[in-house]
Amino acid sequence: MATDPRDGRGHAALVEHLYGRGLLDETWRAVWHAVPREPFIPRQVWRQGLLTCEPVTTEAERLALIHSDEPVVLQVDDGKPDEAGIATSSNSQPSMVARMLRLLLVEDGQRVLEIGTASGYVAALLSRRLGDALVHSIEIDAGLAHHAVAVLRAAGYRPNLACGDGAEGWPDQAPFDRVISTCALRHIPYPLVRQLGAGGVLVAPMDRDFWSGAVVQLTSGGQGTASGRFRGEASYMPMRSHRPPAPAPVDRASARSIRTSVDPYQLLTLGFALYAGARLPGVRMVHAEQETGVQVWLQDRHGSAATASTGGEAYEYGTRDLWQEVERVYGEYAALGSPPAEDLGLSVGPHGERVWVHHPERVIGPLTFAR
């Protein structure tokens, strides 16, 4: 949704848009109206393009972007000049922020830890809702951390801020009643679970290997454990220490044509992606839209790969029958009734993570295969 900043109601219109979609209750509606987005956004920003980020060159374009339900890219290439123009920090899409804050189930008097201060905007919303003393926020990038301190103070907010690795949490200030991450996690860092008080809630976007980005909402069971369900799609930049490693080279000479029984398009649901990610750990899947459907590309950490297109040919590479494994896993998923993402969940404890379907006892274990 874009609004015209010249009418002076750009921010107000955006808030009412979020409220009309049911993403804000009355309390959060008042908070959002009181905390405009624009003062937290630097002068130099980018819009995410198809492959790289595009600089926003005029003030009118900047305001239009800020007053829209779109992310605003704050930094590219970790702040290094003359690089590829890849987004590395942003002020997130307002509707996504609203959804995450709603899932956080914040109540008066609760202490909150935010991972990824970035522009400082979410810290400001939380400070307005709870009061400065109850809000703690960590940012790993020194430049962004400095920016957040400055703009928060200018806006009249003084939450507890630190520059450091959010994966370690803030042990000196624990326990927290609520933890929210504004960067995507490949897994839930265990220190965050340990620093969550019993009955506390953790909300985080996860960047799973197998195609999907999803929000998870966990509740602490005490004794260093937490469990909960996935709550829909999310697209966030990964935490720096959680960026995926470069895959091994694929041996293209090993290509072999195979038959397919599953349209690649059928793989592109969040429920299946979460299920397949648990069954096929370490396998990444990406897709590209085509005029006649989609093409998917699968690859594991050792250089085996597969590709298939709607109505077209399919190929496997390397020592692993990767496409056949995916079709087997899809058959399992269909036999379960193709459960939506909200029927899958995650449990985290001292011995690692477990993805489950329907209830925590029904753990989805990895598929075994011969290599």
Catalytic residues: 92
**Residue of 104, 159, 170, 100 lying closest to 134 (CA atoms):** 159
| Pair 53, 45: CB distance under 8 Å | no
Q: In what order do the strands lie in the sheet with 160-163?
A: 160-163, 135-139, 112-115, 176-181, 196-207, 213-222, 225-233, 344-349, 352-357
Alpha carbon distance 142, 296 (integer Å):
38
Provide Rg for the chain, Cα atoms. 22
Q: In what order do the strands lie in the sheet with 53-55?
A: 53-55, 46-48, 72-76, 87-91
Residues whose CB falls within 8 Å of the CB of residue 10, separated by 6 or more in sequence, listed in order? 3, 4, 63, 64, 66, 67
Instruction: With H, G, I as helix, E, B as strand and everything else as coil, classify residue 204.
Output: strand
**What DSSP string describes 247-264?**
PPPP-GGG-EEE--SS-G
| Pair 70, 93: CB distance under 8 Å | yes
**Residue of 307, 243, 232, 301 lying closest to 273 (CA atoms):** 232
Where are any strands of DSSP class E within 135-184? 135-139, 160-163, 176-181
The residue behind tokens 């989609």 is 294
Instruction: With H, G, I as helix, E, B as strand and everything else as coil, classify residue 34.
Output: helix
Alpha carbon distance 113, 22 (integer Å):
25
The residue behind tokens 């907010």 is 157
DSSP assigned state of 300: -
